[in-house]
Structure 1
Amino acid sequence: MNISLVSARNIRRSALKRIAAAVALLPVALSLDSALAQEYPAKSITAVVPFAAGGGSDTQTRIWGEAMAQLIGHRIIVENVPATAGVSGTKQGIAAEPDGYTVVMGVASTIAINPVINKAADYKPLEDLQPVALTGYTPYVMVVANNLNIKTLPELIEYGKAHEGELTYAGWTTVGEFARKGLELQTGLKMIPVPYKGNTEAMTDVIAGRASAAILDISSALPFIRSGSVTPIVMTGPDKSSALPDVQTIDEAGVKNYFIDSWTAIFAPKDTPKEIVEYLNAKTREALKSEKAKARFDELAIEFRDYDVSQTREFMEKQVAGWKTLIEKAGAAK
């Protein structure tokens, strides 16, 4: 008999045995996952926040964690990892055991922006992590100095054309800088960027008229808007804000295919069992409907989006694609 034919038969027989063994083990693996999900959670859950304590994502995480603890009977331990623009904390979440006891909080910069502009962010956010639930959505708003006497974005664009080289833009975040670049690409509006260390210094200069404009999250902007210190001219996302119902959306202002907004979401390591991801999503949505969480969100002008797991992933896919397109158009991709 042909030796090569015998070898081929032996290889085929061996492969069939391996497949049969794997199929036989599949119910065991599935039953282990189901058992794990039934027992979950049996202890505290760690939420990695890839930024320092006190920031927006940290605040939202703590609101969520407090509400969750009331439901599940175990603490949510917040671990702040403030390094490398959020890359270190995100990688820590990716590398965690996929058992549901470590989640990582993601924001636009860590999930949608860093992988496009930062070589250190050598991860694929929607492959290396599973989107679990949106914990908060925060619109962004463009504000201008009162001394400009401008009320809408079209008025600002017209002013910029008539006063070339006069408009300045106060920036202190990656999101804010891409907001400026994107607006310039879409409208032709030219503003000289002026970097600041933080929003306090930047907004001080906008209030004083030393800087013309800024784009920032509505939570940070509202105190200045409500005091009449600056003028809001456009919401940079697709939706109206209940906190500023009279301010136009970017679409209403005539600018299409542009969005700048802010959100915080829970992500789990990629191999976390589906049952646990679904559990965390359901409990998160329940927790954030509690009266205490709703009151804190209203106070901070944070919106709650009641998304299931598939809707959360769909939202993230749009965010990742939208930011990638904007960054590439701005010529800032790594």
Structure 2
Amino acid sequence: MTANSADDGMSWQLGGQQMTTSIIGRSNALRHAALAAAIGAASLVAAPVATAQDYPNKPITAVVPFGAGGGTDTQTRMWGEAMAPLIGQRVVVENHAGAAGVIGTKHGISQDADGYTVVMGVASTIAINPQTNPAADYVPLEDLQPVALIGYTPYVMVVANDLEIETLPDLIAYGEENPGELTFAGWTGVGEMARQGLELRTGLEMTPVPYAGMVEAMTDIIAGRASGTIVDLASALPFIRSEDVTPIVMTGPEPSPAAPEIPTIDDAGVENYFIDSWVTLFVPAGTPKEIVEYLNEKTREALQTAPIQERYEELAIEFRDYSVEETEAFIERQINGWKSLIEETGSGKDS
């Protein structure tokens, strides 16, 4: 809306149509005030639509709440490269690591809800931290708007080669024979809950050691300074294929086509234990619906391009063609599912 001078009063430009009123006498002044208020309210409604019409007209920043090189960072960069030619703008990845993803997530939430900042969320930052970490003082489905599922992948447990252990039962036996010796490298809430859940189901005790990110943790496992970890298969595969670490079990009931030789948790005789991984695109709450739908549409298009599909198959990442509504429902199920495990392990904020 633009205001222009007029011979007999004031004129407003709204939606390309000029509206003019005269200010003559007290009654006309009151009508003018009422009209101005109505036009002001209309402009508030129209503004997001106008914003969405020319979106995007500058680069988009993708906030990754972990360090560079991990699974979330890798998938974000793949997504950004595939998105750029479709939206005509670059996607700039910013890594804000620390506090198991809390720092980066809160940074993303604090940004303008204009579609130019997106936040990558995973199970730890969205479904676990808000229920277990007092520093995660945000409500995911109130402070963030789910947009699209970027990728889904199973988890795997890997251990240091120098342990010379190849199965979960052997690791459990080793822990019983060497109490206090095993350490668990962790950098996300998912990893910590995976450790606690495994202890609950098997009695395996591993002392948790916090790391800033996956690269630092895997470096210490390779060097034998940490015993092992539970990590998404996409992140672990390069280290498994180079034989820098030993995979001992998939943390789900089904083998992965990318690594069918790794036994499942069911094969190891452990019941009611399932840890998975996903990366979801979010935007700050209040982002215009048209922008949310646009990002969902372009993301689904980008993830179905041949280079992405080939890379996903190589990394054992699943593509799920979810609408905004389906993405919201997926996130709600994840939050509720993790809530059950958190309550069972007694690891909630109020426990």
The bucket for the TM-score relative to the shorter chain is 0.7 to 0.9
CA distance in 1, matches of 2:276, 2:102: 20
- The higher radius of gyration belongs to 2
Q: For the residues of structure 2 that align with 1:248 and 1:22, how far apart are their CA atoms? A: 67
Checking the alignment, whether the CA contact within 8 Å between 2:249 and 2:264 is kept in structure 1 is yes
Within 5 Å, give how 1:160-179 maps onto structure 2: 163=177, 165=179, 168-174=182-188, 175-179=190-194
Match of 2:219 in 1: 200
Of 65, 73, 83, 2:80 maps to 65
> Counterpart in 2 of 1:234?
249
More divergent stretch after superposition (54-63 vs 137-146)? 137-146
Partner residue in 2 for 1:118: 133
Separation in structure 1 between the aligned mates of residue 207 and residue 314 of structure 2, nearest angstrom? 31
> What aligned pairs does 1:73-152 form with structure 2 within 5 A after superposition?
73-143=88-158, 150-151=166-167
Q: Is 2:289 the partner of 1:274?
A: yes
State whether residues 196 and 202 of structure 1, in contact with CA within 8 Å, keep that contact through their aligned partners in structure 2.
Answer: no
Instruction: Indicate conservation of the 8 Å contact 1:138/1:217, yes or no.
Output: yes
Deviations 1:192-251 (A, max 9, x none): 326375112123429xxx94x542222343244335565534321355322112444445
Tell me the CA shift for residue 120 of structure 1. 1.9
1:259 equivalent in structure 2 = 274
One-letter identity of the residue aligned with 2:204: K
Structure with higher strand content? 2
Superposition deviation, residue 280 in structure 1: 0.5
Instruction: Please state how far the C-alpha of 1:26 moved relative to its aligned partner.
Output: 7.8
2 CA distance for matches of 1:22 and 1:318?
43
Q: Any idea what the Cα deviations from partners look like across 1:15-70, whole Å, max 9, x if unmatched?
A: xxxxxx99998876554444433322222222122233333322221111111111
| 1:322 corresponding residue in structure 2 | 337
8 Å contact kept, 2:49–2:290? yes
Match of 1:292 in 2: 307
- The CA distance in 2 between the partners of 1:232 and 1:290, in whole Å, is 31
1:221 alignment counterpart: 236
2:203 is aligned to: 189
Question: Partner of 2:23 in structure 1?
Answer: none
CA contact (8 A) 1:161 1:189 kept: no
CA deviation vs aligned residue, 1:270-329 (integer Å, no higher than 9, x gap): 111222111101101111222232344344443322222122122212222233332333
Structure 2 letter corresponding to 1:277: V
Rounded Cα–Cα distance in structure 1 between residues aligned with 2:80 and 2:147: 14
Give, in angstroms, the shift of residue 89 of structure 1.
Answer: 2.3
**Consecutive unaligned residues in structure 2, runs of 5 or more:** 1-35, 212-216
SS at 1:205's partner residue? coil
Distance 1:205 1:117 in 2: 29
What's the CA shift string for 1:144-195, capped at 9, x where partnerless? Answer: 56776654x5x4488469858488353233433321210121x233233263
Q: What SS does the aligned partner of 1:93 have?
A: helix
C-alpha distance in 1 between matches for 2:172 and 2:98: 41
* Conserved? CA contact 2:144–2:282, under 8 Å: yes
- Seen in structure 2, the aligned counterparts of structure 1 residues 80 and 195 have a Cα distance that, compared at 3 Å, is closer
SS at match of 2:156: strand
Asked if structure 2 preserves the Cα contact closer than 8 Å seen for 1:143 and 1:233, the reply is: yes
Calculate the aligned-residue CA RMSD, in Å: 3.4
| Distance in 2 of aligned mates of 1:89 and 1:149 | 36
How far residue 124 of structure 1 moved from its aligned partner, in angstroms, is 0.2
Shift of 1:133: 1.0
Q: Secondary structure at the match of 1:126?
A: helix
Aligned partners of 2:261 and 2:315: how far apart in 1?
19
- Residue segments in structure 1 that go unaligned for 5+ positions in a row: 1-20
Under a length normalisation based on structure 2, what TM-score does the superposition of the two structures give? 0.74
Contact 2:102 2:125 in 1 (8 A): yes
Instruction: Check conservation: 2:63, 2:95, Cα contact below 8 A.
Output: yes
TM-score, normalised with respect to structure 1: 0.77
Q: Secondary structure at the match of 2:273?
A: coil
C-alpha change, 1:96 and 1:291, in structure 2 (3 Å) is same
Report how many aligned residue pairs link the two structures. 307
| Amino acid paired to 1:315 | F
Alpha-carbon distance between aligned partners in 2 of 1:327 and 1:286, rounded to the nearest angstrom: 36
